[in-house]
Chain A
Amino acid sequence: MKTFPMGGVHPQENKLSRAKAIEVLPLPEVVQIPLGQHIGAPATAKVAKGDKVLTGQLIAEATGFMSANIHSPISGTVQSVDMVENGQGLRQMMITIKREGDEWVETIDRSTELKRECTLESAAIIAKIKDAGIVGMGGATFPTHVKLSIPPGKKAECLIINGVECEPYLTSDHRTMLELGEEMLVGVEILMKAIGVDKAIVGIENNKPDAIAHLTELSKKFKGIVIEPLKVMYPQGGEKQLIAAVTGRQVPPPPALPIDVGAVVCNASTTYAVYRAVQKNMPLIERVVTLTGKGVKEPKNLLTRMGTPIQTLIDAAGGLPEDAGKVINGGPMMGRAMINLASPVTKGCSGITIMSGQDAERKEPGQCMKCAKCVSACPMGLEPYLLAKLAKKRQWEQMEAEMITSCIECGCCQSTCPAYLPLLDWVRLGKQTVMGLIRARMAAQAPKK
């Protein structure tokens, strides 16, 4: 069975909600919509305090190409457009809407029946995706229309659908593939058309045999779609790792992109959202969020409107456990710990993981004994122990020479360290600093040209 070429770890899967069907969360009374919930420039608000909005109405427009539209997930009145604390307690521009009834924008087709045929041209498809404000829903939140717009001189050869879901605990993609598989495959067809390829591979890790079987059966009805079971290994859901696992091609170090090896990767939930956007005119206003954790009474997969407070989801799953220590937006490997549970669900939020008791606290770090486990676990072939040491000493130039920019922050190094050293904390700091230095250098060079 295929997997990526180097490194990787296999943490405990803990897919507690794997057998739980997607549940629809009741409409929230108040939503908060951050304007920056994607990579790139934050959207520009198109509504002001007191405005009435309908469900699906555009409330913030993409600022430039590298940005995404945002739509109202409920109907009601805009209460404010102001700085509000996000999950990390940092202030962010958000639109707050209070719900009144449930009125939708008329053009949206809310029926659930499958619509197979799509007669649109590539450009029209991408325009529709852009209008719907679709971004990568696996967590990276890269605007999908940017990804699909192949730069001149490059050619896409293969579409890869990311159904790997290698993060422990999370099951939102799994459930989407299982319950909305056919819709998703129509989405794959649409994406193939958009980028002009006749081959698509859906990569799914082997710990989801039901999804693999279901999609393999369905894919017989579609032309050019292959379901590829992959060996269970974290971080296979990483774009570069998935491309390497599926095609055997390695994306060169930054600034190279997947398209340089002819691949376009799209997440499974995103693909479903593409289907809805193109076939049903449905903007990205809801998503499946896994609410999970060992202490959680009822781990669930919840179909949630964007902007719903995370506390509402926690309550729906039986409330915050007594010994809850850490609430993570995302999975335990790459998710961000939160301090503000009133913060909203965003486009990139695939799950909320609650760590309780001892799991929540890091163990006391010891001394590096040079066991080299981090080096062999690194899927990018880096030396985390060295990078962490250099970051601590603030030797940024040397870090750049050691290819720090290749780091994907997957956390394999730290999760495999028997001395419990905070390797990635330092490596990430080094990466951010070096990226900043590189940008500054480029900015300094630009006017000279």
Chain B
Amino acid sequence: MEVLFYTILTLCVLGILAAVILYFVAQKFKVEEDPRIDEVEKMLPGANCGGCGFAGCRGLSEALVKRDDISALFCPVGGGDTMKAVAAYLGKAAAEKEPQTATIRCGGTCEKRPRTNKFDGAKSCAVAASLYVGETGCAFGCLGYGDCADVCTFGAITINPTTGLPEVDPDKCTACGACVKACPKRVIELRKKWPKNRAVYVSCVSKDKGAAVMKACKAGCIGCGKCEKVCPFGAITVEGNLAYIDPAKCKLCRKCVNECPTGAIKLVGMEPLPKAPKAAPAAAPKAAAAAAAPKAVEGPATIALKASGTNPLMLLNAKKAVMESKADKSVEGAVVALKESGLKPLKYMR
């Protein structure tokens, strides 16, 4: 009985002693922290992707709570809704940003952009880019070793083995921007996310002159400026031989798509416009590639290009001629002449 008593007593004393020590230690080393930081962190998606510019969601939460003006802070993953919720909780004004998605601005598939040499180093875009121009003649386009896919924490980017190009799954993409930073060629851009993942964009970043682009790739932007002229909203600018569609001004009218001679303007999630008097909806690369499409609806550009084959000089001249051809008459003429002259389109064009 006595043993039991002393045991209990000792344990009680020890317990109280420990509690007292713990209390004072806790007081001494207490870290004052705004409890709202925890709350805000819970509201954030918790992906810790770093897309906001902080090391993780905790960093953004702290900044959101501590800063008075949070308009410069934005969680790309959570998007506007999350920011609104956080701002409402904190009683501050949130930044307004439209939802975005990563867009691969290169259409140089294996087929359209032939390989001219073989890269035998570590399979990394950054390694290849720091060494030389790349496996193709294009100095600007996608290298295809998948650095973007490697850094994507959401599994939204995969390299398509047949095209050799990355593909973004817009439903998985959170626009964190990791791929944009990882791409040594700056091919990826965060663009406005339209409903149903619709998009119109120039799928090329080459600032080369038309001739050089044509030599390296059949799907590149040659900076001809036709799209710029046709755009009713002034959304397209051509700078340094490269067209760019401003996502803020573009209304998805699709006029430029039909105008593009190389199919560099890509259309996603929508049907191309019906055949216009000037040109047919052949510019979308898929339609152009489809052999089933009747000759009549193919654009003059496509036909001239096809006829001229892979010879870059012929290709270029053919292109020039097509650009110069104005009315319906000449287009028709071109088609007929091409058919007649077989492999010598230049003769007629001149």
**A and B found bound together:** yes
Chain A interfacial positions (CB closer than 8 Å to B) = 85, 88-91, 336-337, 339, 361-362, 394, 422, 425-426, 428-429, 432-433
Closest 6 CB pairs of A and B: A89-B133, A88-B132, A425-B122, A422-B122, A339-B117, A425-B127
CB < 8 Å neighbour of B127 from A85, A337, A361, A429: A429
B interface SS class: loop
**Nearest A residue to B129 by beta-carbon distance?**
A429
Residues of B within 8 A of A91 (CB): 139
Q: List 24 A-B contacts (CB under 8 A).
A: A85-B133, A89-B132, A89-B139, A90-B132, A336-B131, A336-B132, A339-B117, A339-B132, A361-B120, A422-B121, A422-B122, A422-B127, A425-B122, A425-B127, A426-B122, A428-B127, A428-B130, A429-B122, A429-B124, A429-B126, A429-B127, A429-B130, A432-B130, A433-B126
Q: A336-B131, A429-B127 are in contact. List 20 more A-B contacts (CB 8 A).
A: A88-B132, A89-B133, A90-B132, A90-B133, A91-B139, A337-B131, A337-B132, A339-B116, A339-B117, A339-B132, A362-B120, A394-B151, A422-B121, A425-B124, A426-B122, A426-B127, A428-B130, A429-B124, A429-B126, A432-B130
Chain B 147-181 per-residue mask, 1 if CB under 8 angstroms from chain A, else 0? 00001000000000000000000000000000000
A interface SS class: mixed
Residues of B within 8 A of A432 (CB): 130
**Nearest B residue to A421 by beta-carbon distance?**
B122
A320 to chain B, nearest CB (A): 14
Q: Is B134 an interface residue (CB 8 A)?
A: yes
How many A-B contacts are there with CB distance less than 8 Å?
Answer: 44
Q: Is B137 an interface residue (CB 8 A)?
A: yes
In the bound assembly, the distance between CA atoms of A212 and B291 in angstroms comes to 71
Residues of A within 8 A of B126 (CB): 429, 433
Residues of B within 8 A of A90 (CB): 132-133, 139
Chain B interfacial positions (CB closer than 8 Å to A) = 116-117, 120-122, 124, 126-127, 130-134, 137, 139, 151
Residues of A within 8 A of B134 (CB): 89
Residues of A within 8 A of B120 (CB): 361-362
In the bound assembly, the distance between CA atoms of A91 and B127 in angstroms comes to 18
In the bound assembly, the distance between CA atoms of A361 and B118 in angstroms comes to 10
**Nearest A residue to B135 by beta-carbon distance?**
A339
Residues of A within 8 A of B131 (CB): 88, 336-337
**Nearest A residue to B136 by beta-carbon distance?**
A89
Residues of A within 8 A of B139 (CB): 89-91
In the bound assembly, the distance between CA atoms of A339 and B132 in angstroms comes to 9
A185 to chain B, nearest CB (A): 39
CB < 8 Å neighbour of B137 from A89, A336, A422, A428: A89
In the bound assembly, the distance between CA atoms of A171 and B137 in angstroms comes to 33
In the bound assembly, the distance between CA atoms of A145 and B117 in angstroms comes to 39
In the bound assembly, the distance between CA atoms of A89 and B134 in angstroms comes to 8
In the bound assembly, the distance between CA atoms of A425 and B127 in angstroms comes to 6
Residues of A within 8 A of B133 (CB): 85, 88-90, 339
In the bound assembly, the distance between CA atoms of A91 and B139 in angstroms comes to 9
B128 to chain A, nearest CB (A): 9
In the bound assembly, the distance between CA atoms of A425 and B119 in angstroms comes to 12
In the bound assembly, the distance between CA atoms of A112 and B121 in angstroms comes to 46
Residues of A within 8 A of B121 (CB): 362, 422, 425
In the bound assembly, the distance between CA atoms of A88 and B132 in angstroms comes to 5
In the bound assembly, the distance between CA atoms of A426 and B127 in angstroms comes to 7
Residues of B within 8 A of A422 (CB): 121-122, 127
B180 to chain A, nearest CB (A): 15
A325 to chain B, nearest CB (A): 9
B168 to chain A, nearest CB (A): 20
Residues of A within 8 A of B122 (CB): 422, 425-426, 429
In the bound assembly, the distance between CA atoms of A422 and B120 in angstroms comes to 10
A372 to chain B, nearest CB (A): 21
In the bound assembly, the distance between CA atoms of A425 and B121 in angstroms comes to 7
In the bound assembly, the distance between CA atoms of A336 and B124 in angstroms comes to 17
**Nearest A residue to B128 by beta-carbon distance?**
A425
Residues of B within 8 A of A88 (CB): 131-133
Residues of A within 8 A of B130 (CB): 428-429, 432
B139 to chain A, nearest CB (A): 7
Residues of B within 8 A of A426 (CB): 122, 124, 127
In the bound assembly, the distance between CA atoms of A429 and B127 in angstroms comes to 6
**Nearest A residue to B120 by beta-carbon distance?**
A362
In the bound assembly, the distance between CA atoms of A89 and B130 in angstroms comes to 12
B126 to chain A, nearest CB (A): 5
In the bound assembly, the distance between CA atoms of A336 and B133 in angstroms comes to 13
In the bound assembly, the distance between CA atoms of A429 and B121 in angstroms comes to 12
In the bound assembly, the distance between CA atoms of A91 and B132 in angstroms comes to 10
B142 to chain A, nearest CB (A): 16
A401 to chain B, nearest CB (A): 17
In the bound assembly, the distance between CA atoms of A89 and B208 in angstroms comes to 13
B338 to chain A, nearest CB (A): 33
**Nearest B residue to A388 by beta-carbon distance?**
B122
In the bound assembly, the distance between CA atoms of A361 and B121 in angstroms comes to 10
